[in-house]
């Protein structure tokens, strides 16, 4: 499973992936985190462009974005374009806590792993909040 990491969560993603790696999950689950830069996706891309890129590449977006303002706001895009086979957007409830609190970080990792393992049950849901 590939996660497209929102440009403002790269540090949190490194920490989460480190936990996943340290727990040995990468040996049994194909998990990758990719950045906007790796996809040559401009940081100022609209949420609609990001969502469409993720869907075209069968990726889940990992974000802390909850905004609905604007015609291309992520929540609006989900309401307009989400399909039964669309990959979900994973939204971290508190991105700062991922860096500061081990227990919170562990809960986020556990939830990410649960979603990856059971991805077929989460297709089409739109957005999932973690932990």
Tell me the whole-structure pTM to 2 decimals: 0.93
Contact (Cβ atoms closer than 8 angstroms) between residue 60 and residue 123: no
Domains in the chain with CATH codes: 2-130 (3.40.50)
pLDDT score, position 69: 73
Q: How confident is the model at residue 77 (pLDDT cuts 50, 70, 90)?
A: very high
Per residue, the 3-state secondary structure of 14-62, as one string, reads: HHHHHHHHHCCHHHCCCCEEECCCCCCCCCCCCHHHHHHHHHHCCEEEE
């Amino acid at each position: 499973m590939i996660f497209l990491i929102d440009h403002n969560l790269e540090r949190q993603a490194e920490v989460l992936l480190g936990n996943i790696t340290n727990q040995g999950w990468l040996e049994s689950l194909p998990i990758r985190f990719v950045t906007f830069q790796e996809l040559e996706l401009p940081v100022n891309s609209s949420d609609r462009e990001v969502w469409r890129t993720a869907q075209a590449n069968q990726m889940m977006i990992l974000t802390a974005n909850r905004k609905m303002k604007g015609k291309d706001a992520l929540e609006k895009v989900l309401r307009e374009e989400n399909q039964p086979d669309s990959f979900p957007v994973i939204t971290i409830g508190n991105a700062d806590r991922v860096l500061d609190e081990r227990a919170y970080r562990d809960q986020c990792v556990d939830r990410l792993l649960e979603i990856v393992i059971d991805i077929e049950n989460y297709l089409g849901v739109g957005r999932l909040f973690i932990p």
